[in-house]
């Protein structure tokens, strides 16, 4: 088990949604020397910046990613592939060369094949091509798993790869051009409620299912893996719950006391048909189990948005 108290830790993407909570959890675990370069201070797609940030670092937690919802993935697949590959692969290589002791890579649930038996087991990750709309992003992040396994085999480099499910919570990205499903729906319902609009339009059929993990739980899981997990086998981070998009939006409508009707735009895609993880490996290997109940987490996310919506991009 690694004691984080006196280690120099680099967190990429620390300014993001998950980063905000990860820094809190690292501090709770005793970490005091955390380096968190912003994109202005270090562009991780540029090799000279990567070489500079890995110097004298003992642990790297790589959260930085270019991400977005279905619309963004359809518009910018090339950018999503290139930027995510270029932020990850050279970073691990330069970390190895600089003598970094541990590298924790965050993959994505989008790396799983489109038709994976539910619940998704880590061993199924190579059994097919990902869902087309997010395959370029998913595969770019999946290459970190290949790299971590190859580097452990050849160089004895301690890299681990975690695959978190869809995250949600306060401080999420509510920008409609790039937000994921929960913040996008909360924003839609909020605006309809405030405008007394009679309907809210939702993409797809509502039949697709998703699993969601509260962001603070995810941050706790990452810290537990950083301290205790030292193998190349990928590990899912999830809550082990599954909810259809229809049930999700109906829960949001109820919690936000919106009285209008839902209208389904079935010309829009559902994305992957079902998503739910097998979370037993995380429990077995480093004792991680989600703690925040879904409805409780959803309430906290809605309350945060209602309080801060005027400060966010529209």
Query: Taking a C-beta distance cutoff of 8 angstroms, is the pair 63, 22 a contact?
Result: yes
Catalytic: 137? yes
Q: How many CB atoms neighbour CB 29 within 10 A? A: 16
Kindly give the interhelix angle for 181-194 and 294-308, rounded to the nearest 10 degrees. Answer: 50
CA distance 131 to 104: 25
CA distance 213 to 164: 8
Q: Are strands 102-106 and 159-164 parallel, antiparallel or unpaired?
A: parallel
The residue annotated as part of the active site, out of 82, 129, 137, 155, is: 137
Block residue for tokens 């319902």: 189
Per-residue CA distances from 221 to 54, 92, 166 (Å): 23, 21, 14
- Is it true that the peptide bond before 176 is cis, omega within 30 degrees of 0? no
Nearest to 71 by CA among 301, 283, 269, 299: 269
Length of the chain: 314
Token pair recorded at residue 159? 């890299």
Q: What is the CA radius of gyration of the chain?
A: 19
Residue ranges of E strands in the chain: 8-12, 33-35, 59-62, 102-106, 159-164, 166-168, 199-203, 209-210, 212-214, 235-237, 243-244, 261-265
CA distance 180 to 73: 11
Residues noted as catalytic: 137
């Amino acid at each position: 088990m690694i004691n984080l108290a006196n280690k120099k830790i680099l967190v990429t993407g620390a300014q993001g949604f998950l980063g905000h909570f990860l820094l809190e959890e690292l501090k709770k675990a005793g970490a005091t020397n955390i380096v968190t370069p912003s994109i202005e201070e270090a562009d991780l797609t540029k090799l000279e910046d990567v070489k500079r940030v890995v110097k004298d670092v003992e642990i790297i937690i790589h959260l930085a990613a270019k991400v977005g919802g279905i619309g963004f993935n359809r518009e910018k697949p090339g950018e999503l592939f290139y930027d995510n590959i270029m932020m990850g692969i050279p970073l691990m290589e330069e970390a190895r060369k600089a003598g970094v002791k541990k590298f924790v890579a965050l993959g994505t649930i989008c790396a799983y094949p489109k038709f994976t038996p539910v619940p998704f087991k880590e061993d199924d990750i190579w059994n097919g091509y990902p869902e087309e709309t997010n395959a370029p992003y998913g595969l770019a992040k999946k290459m970190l798993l290949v790299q971590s396994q190859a580097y452990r085999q050849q160089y004895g480099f301690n890299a681990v790869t975690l695959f978190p499910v869809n995250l949600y919570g306060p401080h999420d990205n509510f920008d409609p051009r790039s937000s994921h499903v929960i913040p996008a729906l909360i924003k839609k319902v909020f605006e309809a409620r405030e405008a007394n609009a009679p309907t809210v339009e939702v993409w797809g059929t509502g039949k697709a299912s998703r699993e969601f993990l509260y962001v603070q739980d995810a941050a706790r899981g990452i810290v537990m893996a950083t301290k205790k997990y030292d193998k190349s086998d990928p590990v899912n981070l999830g809550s082990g719950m599954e909810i259809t998009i229809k049930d999700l939006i109906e829960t949001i409508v109820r919690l936000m006391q919106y009285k209008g009707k839902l209208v389904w735009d079935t010309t829009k895609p559902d994305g992957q048909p079902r998503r739910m993880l097998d979370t037993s490996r995380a429990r077995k290997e480093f004792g991680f189990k989600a703690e925040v109940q879904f409805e409780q987490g959803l309430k906290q996310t809605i309350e945060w948005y209602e309080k801060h919506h005027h400060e966010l991009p529209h």
